[in-house]
Amino acid sequence: MTTAALLRRPVLRLRRMPKLDRAAFAAVGLLLLTVAFGPLLAPYDPYHVDLGQAMLPPGAEHWLGTDSSGRDVLSRVLYGARPTILGSLCAVGLSAVIGVTIASLAALGPRWVDDAIMRICDIALSLPIMVMALGISVALGPSLRSAIIAMVLSWWPSFTRLARAEIRTTMTSTYVESAMITGVSRWRLMTRHVLPNSLDSVYVQVTLEIGGATLIMAGLSFIGAGAQPPSAEWGAMVESGSRFLTSAWWTAVVPGAVITLTALAFALAGDALRARTSGREVI
Amino acid sequence: MRYLLRRLWLVVLTVWGLATLVFFMIKAIPGDEAQSAAGITATPEQVEVVRERLGLNLPLWGQYLAYLWRLLHGDLGSSIFTFRPVTADLGGALPATIELVAAAVLLNLLVGIPVGMLAAAYERRRPDAAIRLGAIAGGALPLFWLGLILQHLFGARLGLLPISGTQSMGVEVPRVTGLATVDSLLAGDLPAWWDAVQHLVLPAVTLSVPFVAFAVRLVRTSMITALEADHVVMARAKGASPLRVMLQHGLRTCLGPIVTLIGMQTGWMIGAAVLIEGVFGRPGVGAYLTEAVQQKDTFAVLGVVLFTGVTVTLVNLAVDLVQLVSDPRIRAAQFGAAPLGAKA
Amino acid sequence: MNLGRSLTVTRGAGLGAALLAVATLTACTAGGTTSGKSTTPATRDMLTFGVDGTLPNLDPILASNSTVDQAVVPVYDALLDFSPANEIVGRLAEKWTVAPDARSIAFTLRPGVAFHDGTPVTAKDVAYTLERIKKLGVGVAESVAAYDKTEITDDTHFTIRLSTPSSLFLGALSKVYILNSKLVQASAGSDDGQAWLATHTAGSGPYTLASYTPNQQIKYVRNDSYAGADPRIAKTVVYRLLPESATQRDELESGNIDVSDGIDPIDVPAFEKNPRFEAVRLKKPQGLYVFFNTQKGATADKRIREAVRLAYDYQGHAKTILRGFGSVAAGPLPDTMGCRADIPDAKQDLARAKELVAESGQKDLKLTMAYQQIFSEHAEAATALQSALKQIGITLELKPTAYPNYLESLKSVDTTPQLALLWDNPPTPDAGSLLYRTYSSKFLGSSTNYGQYKNAEVDALLDKAVASGDETARCAEYKKVQELIEADAATMNIADHETVIIAPKGVTGIELYPAHVGYVPQAYKVS
């Protein structure tokens, strides 16, 4: 399904939406704009260290103050949207692509392939992402890349499971069954008919998971397994600011609050999407 | 019975897969494995002895078999820093984590179930909407940040609760289980117990927040579904009070999802504990793992990875078994997907 | 020991209600507690030290690592130590005479000293300890590499013979903690007791090990049969692992630890004002450096090294990153050491730095620096240097590196990082102890010549000084070496550190022991 198709659906018809959902979509839009244009808006160089300007409280010069190295917190928050949100988007997006591909293979292949894939999912799902990421950071060295790899490694199976279930449902629909009878090849059937009709819930899931992924990405950087200095990744900002909660609270509180708002916006938007696409109510 | 055997076989398969994964992780790490195993203090001769003992002079498949053989004997290697077997270190760190996770699960049930029921009772009305928003917001809080702020407010600023550790200095009880709250009770030392509980409050609350949020939504949904069931509607029509209906019919139906939830949350929580334990200075598995990563203590890290994976697998097994015993419908159903995801 | 207060809740309520109390959170606990103990400053039986970093392996052969040294110093005795006045004083040794050719030292042990199990300390134990170090070749072995053999005359008299003349050897003995040979041999496996000593002790020091929980705490109890036991020191000493400086601060305030040297400088003024505490400011035998790979890549060019050195804001480092608890470095030796050459403070000069880069002909230069991201001073200095180098057209890539990996990378010039940010602690206050192991080409490819530095003139001077028995001549040679190193811009010397020890009011004896970077708890007098 193309983006245009998605837009034509009632999903994003704003007028009929509750205020809260509208706010959530607006916030998500704003965050995506920040990812795209944040660096252009930043008033200062987020990496420029000026030890003479350290820990200035929020004021006219620096709206959100400066950190312990004299860097502008607002500029860093704006730059940090990329590693944090884009990094999470990458991780979830890649997981979804890999997950769906593998689910299609499972559906196309013989029974034992399906079985094997499900077992591999079990294995990957038994490792919490934090633990997996720390293992990987020992193997590959800590970096944003390692964090994304770890997230993808432990995330794709949930998409595989979801997509597999949806594909199975679609496969049994009359429409697909009749296509099968007309002798369409399995491959064509999958790419032209089954997948396009099975992916709605995957899109919703992606939106829902981005909020959680942001939390994990920030958490990984916080414990030192993710983005490294001088990155303005939000979790890393919380980490370096945590020492100064008594003397310069803004260095830790601001990035933490931004993480919370981001996760909240994506969670609400995902919920709204899910409610609309499935017609079901959300748990 | 066939289901049971199949389930156990899957557990074995998963554990084997995990072991293989960890084996390749070890191989992916740059540097001489025998040197890391022998430790920073080892002489070249000692390194050679270790190489021989670990079978690292064998071809890859031989190394793999030797590795599996050691695992079968519970040998995860030794920490290069503590010089102790990783299993011994894990044994020492485990109680603090178990205590934390158990307390968080308890909080989860004590808060999650009643609030979820409340939301269901007020379905689509104001309290429900407020609870839903609160739950979403709770799920959006970064744990490490929340922990820092709670610690700062309640520990440092207000001085209401201890800041870190599992016990105050000078409070000592004989170590039996390693769980400070349990050991103090066993010793009959109530002040020490109260001290341990106080140390547990902040980390457990922090850890439980996102999970409570999740539990509330789960309980709400399953409760609503349960209340729509025919026999419940019937009971209502007969004039049973709403509370009674909820407790008697609704809660019973909810038990299944709740058991599953506890199972999957245990896995998530072990992951999340990595974030929390460092902040609150609790000497648990998560803190051990973080420390080991910083010291590049390869075998300690991979030992924890393997251990966590196996624990989560076993918890999932336990959940399935409980379901099997308690719910005849599942007994009849084919074994489906394991609980979705062990994330966080 | 402290909690009498909150019992009303527990007693009346029983388990179920108390668990509910957990659930309803702080509401219930609020009335009950502050974990603060109102200990009076006058007498105390126990001193609890907040310890930053791991509580490690207790094998004293690893005492070259300051964390290990701090953990074993209460339990063991060395033959001798350095006093706060930088003088060598006897511990187990009563008398020693260095031969004029600096090839042997004759010792007399203090009589009547015993290990914790009652076995007397004899020449045999000294010989065992030194032989073990020689055989294992790790940790402190590097600093006593000149050791050849011990000739035992009788239980209290012996002579240590050296394979090469070394004036550094005597001072290096301050980190050679003497082991109870009988006990170690009885408990050791095939590994010369490495595994056993990692968690057990075999010493004769003023404290005995009471309990050891790796990565949590170590507890020591005063050894009352210690010869020359000081009744004023605390009966019990506890090291508690608290890796976060913010946690140390909060625990110190609430009385769960008594002493801390890991308080973030920004929080020190609050303690200075607090009447319950004493903030003692001491110089620390530690400096922060950037070591260049002087043999390979762009940093083999002296102009590039000089340019990097000139780009950094040293004043800002001392003032902002160290918050005044430290000073701008002047030369390659920290300011706690003797025989320092008269080298001016490091200074920033961006214009000159740019010129030097231009002269070198390098364009769009990219450098990589290894640093340990777990230390906040490292992270802050690394980002500050990166930002500074950007101004002179050099891109600095930061590579977080675990310390063991860094040491491993030094085995070859090819793997040695172009730049490495590092704390360095001199093994002893003797200038030669740091200069020799860091700048002599004898140590190329070992884990101490961090810059793979090689200069024939420096080598010759160092060899001569180390072998010389004449203290004045030696000192002049060390000064010349420092000037040569400086002229080569071999190392970027950033800052000398100070430490602030926060201790309860009334505790005395807190001084700098220049051979030890960490705590020396037996010096703290509580009454």
* Mean pLDDT, rounded, of chain A: 86
Burial of C192 (0-12, 13-18, 19+ CB in 10 A): buried
Arithmetic mean of pLDDT over chain B: 82
List CB contacts (< 8 A) between B162 and chain C.
33, 35, 254, 256
Helix residue spans in A141-185 (DSSP H): 144-171, 174-181
How near does any CA of chain C get to the CA of B160, in Å? Answer: 5
- Residue B39 — very low, low, confident or very high, per pLDDT cuts 50/70/90? low
pTM greater than 0.90: no
Put simply, the answer to whether C379 touches A48 (Cβ < 8 Å) is: no
Provide long-range contacts, Cβ within 8 A and 24+ apart, for B220-224. Answer: B220/A283, B220/B116, B220/B117, B220/B119, B220/B120, B220/B123, B220/B128, B220/B131, B220/B132, B221/A281, B221/A283, B222/B253, B222/B254, B222/B257, B223/B116, B223/B117, B223/B120, B223/B250, B223/B251, B223/B253, B223/B254, B224/B120, B224/B123
User: Within an 8 Å CB–CB cutoff, is residue A40 touching chain B?
Assistant: no
Secondary structure (3-state) at C116 = coil
Q: What is the pLDDT of residue C10?
A: 29
Rounded to whole angstroms, the Cα distance separating A268 from A28 reads: 9
In the structure, what pLDDT confidence band is assigned to residue C419 with cuts at 50, 70 and 90?
A: very high
pLDDT at B11 over 80: yes
Question: What is the bridge-based pairing of β-strands C277-292 and C491-504?
Answer: antiparallel
Residues 42 through 61 of chain A touching chain B, CB cutoff 8 Å: none
Higher pLDDT, A143 or B330: A143
Q: What is the mean pLDDT of residues A226-249?
A: 91
A47, closest residue in chain C (CA to CA)? C387
Our CA-based measurement puts residue C457 at a distance from the nearest CA of chain A, in whole angstroms, of 39
For chain A, which chains pass the contact test of at least 3 CB pairs under 8 Å? B, C
Closest CA–CA distance from residue A81 to any residue of chain B (Å): 16
Contact: A49, C384; criterion CB under 8 Å? yes
Is a pLDDT exceeding 70 seen at residue C8? no
pLDDT tens digits for range C92-139: 999 999 998 889 999 999 998 999 999 999 999 999 999 999 988 878
| DSSP run (H or E) holding C160 | strand C157-162
> If you count residue pairs, one on A and one on C, with CB atoms under 8 Å apart, how many are there?
67
CB contact under 8 A, C26 and B154: yes
Chain B residues with beta carbon closer than 8 angstroms to that of C408: 31
DSSP C304-328: HHHHHHHHS-HHHIIIIISTTSEEE
Neighbours of C330 (CB within 10 A): 19
Phi-psi region for residue A99, left (φ > 0), alpha (ψ -120 to 50) or beta?
A: alpha
What's the mean pLDDT when you consider all of chain C? 87
Minimum-distance CB partner of B103 among C22, C34, C35: C22
DSSP B235: H
Q: What is the mean pLDDT of residues A72-97?
A: 95
Q: How far is B43 from chain C (nearest CA, A)?
A: 6
Task: For A126, name the nearest residue in chain B, comparing CA atoms only.
Answer: B309
Region B334-342: what's the mean pLDDT? Answer: 35
Query: Is residue B242 predicted with pLDDT exceeding 80?
Result: no
Spatial separation of the C-alpha atoms in residues C50 and C48, rounded to whole Å: 7
In this complex, do A51 and C379 lie within 8 Å of one another by their Cβ atoms?
no
pLDDT digits (tens, 9 = 90+) for B58-103: 888 888 998 899 888 888 887 776 667 888 888 888 999 999 999 9
Contacts of residue A246 in chain C, CB cutoff 8 Å? 246, 249, 267
CA distance C175 to C274: 36
pLDDT bin (cut points 50, 70, 90) of residue C65 is confident
Helix or strand run (H / E) with residue A27: helix A19-41
Interatomic CA distance for residues A96 and A204, integer angstroms: 11
Take residue C352 and report the two structure tokens written for it. Answer: 């000159």
Rounded to the nearest 10 degrees, the angle between the axes of helix A200-222 and helix A234-241 is 30
Of the candidates C144, C175, C148, which has an alpha carbon nearest to the alpha carbon of residue C436?
Answer: C144
Q: Cα(B55)–Cα(B64) distance, rounded to whole angstroms?
A: 9
The SS3 assignment for A263 reads helix
Q: Is A138 on the interface with B (CB under 8 A)?
A: yes
Q: Percentage of chain A with pLDDT > 90?
A: 51
When mean pLDDT is compared across A55-59, C267-271, C307-311, the lowest value belongs to C267-271
Contact A51 C400 (CB under 8 A): no
- Ranges C166-170, C267-271, C346-350: which has the least confidence: C267-271
CA C339 to chain CA mean position, Å = 20
Predicted local distance difference test score (pLDDT) of residue A15: 56
What share of chain B has pLDDT > 90, as a percent? 18
Cβ pair C144, C130 in contact under 8 A? yes
Q: Tell me which residue in B80, B163, B278 faces C254 most closely, judged by beta carbons.
A: B163
Q: Chain C residues with CB inside 8 Å of B197's CB?
A: 18, 21-22
Helix axes B190-228, B230-237, angle to 10 degrees: 90
- Residue contact B308–A268, C-beta within 8 A: no
CA distance C243 to chain B (A): 8
Best A44, A47, A48, A49 residue to mutate vs chain C (most C CBs within 10 Å) = A49
Task: Classify the C-alpha dihedral A211-A215-A221-A224 as positive or negative.
Answer: negative
Distance CA A238, CA A236 (A): 5
pLDDT of residue A13: 52
Please indicate if any CB of chain B lies within 8 Å of the CB of A215.
Answer: yes
The minimal CB distance from B41 to the residues C48, C61, C253 is found for C61
User: Is residue C176 within 8 Å of residue C132, measured between CB atoms?
Assistant: no
Three-state DSSP class for residue C508:
strand
Element (H, E) at C494: strand C491-504
- Residue given tokens 């659906």 in the structure block: A9
State which residue of chain B sits closest to A246, comparing Cα positions: B152
Read off the amino acid at residue A82: R
Q: What is the mean pLDDT of residues C463-467?
A: 93
- Which H or E run contains C213? strand C207-213
| Among the ranges given (A77-81, A270-274, C131-135, C504-508), the one the predictor scored with the smallest mean pLDDT | A270-274
What is the distance between the alpha carbons of residues B14 and B34, in angstroms, rounded to a whole number? 27
Structure tokens at C444: 């190329």
* Residue C190, pLDDT above cutoff 80: no
Q: Please give the pLDDT value at position A16.
A: 61
Residues of A with CB under 8 A from a CB of C: 47-52, 54, 68-70, 141-142, 224, 228-230, 240, 242-247
pLDDT given for residue C14 in this prediction: 34
* Per-residue H/E/C for A75-113: HHHHHHHHHHHHHHHHHHHHHHHHHHHHHHHHHHCCHHH
What's the pLDDT at B25?
A: 82
Q: For the segment C23-63, what is each residue's pLDDT rounded down to a tens digit?
A: 333 333 333 333 334 444 445 789 999 998 666 789 999 89
Stretch (H or E) spanning C441: none
Taking CB atoms and an 8 Å cutoff, what residues of chain C touch B104? none
Residue of B66, B71, B73, B72 lying closest to B52 (CA atoms): B66
CB of C222 closer than 8 Å to CB of C207 = yes
| Nearest-by-CA chain C residue for B104 | C23
Which comes out higher in pLDDT, residue C416 or B254? C416
**pLDDT tens digits for range B112-144:** 989 998 898 888 888 898 998 899 999 999 999
Average pLDDT over residues C402-429: 90
Cα distance from C390 to chain A (closest Cα, Å)? 9
Which residue of chain A comes nearest to C244, CA vs CA?
Answer: A243
3-state SS, residue C203: coil
Range with the largest mean pLDDT of A165-169, B168-172, C495-499: C495-499
pLDDT the model gives residue A2? 44
Are C501 and C258 a contacting pair, CB within 8 Å?
no
pLDDT above 90: residue A4: no
Check if the interface score ipTM surpasses 0.85: yes
Q: Is the pLDDT of residue B41 over 70?
A: no
Checking if the pLDDT of C433 tops 70, the result is yes
Determine the length of chain A.
283
> Predicted confidence band at B329 (pLDDT cuts at 50, 70, 90)?
low
What angle in degrees, to the nearest 10, is found between the helix axes of B251-280 and B190-228? 140
In the predicted structure, residue C239 carries a pLDDT above the cut 50: yes
Q: Give the distance from residue B245's alpha carbon to the nearest chain A alpha carbon, in angstroms.
A: 21
- Per DSSP, B178 falls in state S
Q: Which residues of A touch B294 (CB under 8 A)?
A: 224
* pLDDT score, position C215: 66
Of A2, A47, A18, which is closest to residue A275 (Cα–Cα)?
A18
CA distance A53 to chain C (A): 9
Structure confidence at residue A278 as a pLDDT band (50, 70, 90): low
| Subunits in contact with chain B (3 or more CB pairs closer than 8 Å) | A, C
> Which among B55-64, C77-86, C254-263 has the top mean pLDDT?
C77-86
At residue C39, the pLDDT reads 42
How far is C265 from chain B, CA to nearest CA, in Å?
A: 18
Write b or e for each residue in C469-479: b if 16 or more Cβ atoms lie within 10 A of its Cβ, otherwise e.
eeeeebbebbb
Pairwise CA distance, residues A73 & C233, whole Å: 48
Q: What is the distance of C-alpha B94 from the center of its chain?
A: 11
Q: Is C373 on the interface with A (CB under 8 A)?
A: yes
Q: Is C85 near chain A, with CB under 8 Å?
A: no
Three-class SS state of C425: coil
Q: What is the pLDDT of residues B196-230, one digit of tens each?
A: 999 999 999 999 998 999 889 888 888 888 877 77
pLDDT in tens, C142-167: 889 899 999 999 999 999 999 999 99
8 Å CB contact of C7 and B190: yes
Q: Mean pLDDT across the stretch A169-188?
A: 79
The pLDDT of residue C292 is: 97
- The token pair that represents B136 in the structure block: 């979403």
Interface contact C380, partner A, CB < 8 A:
yes
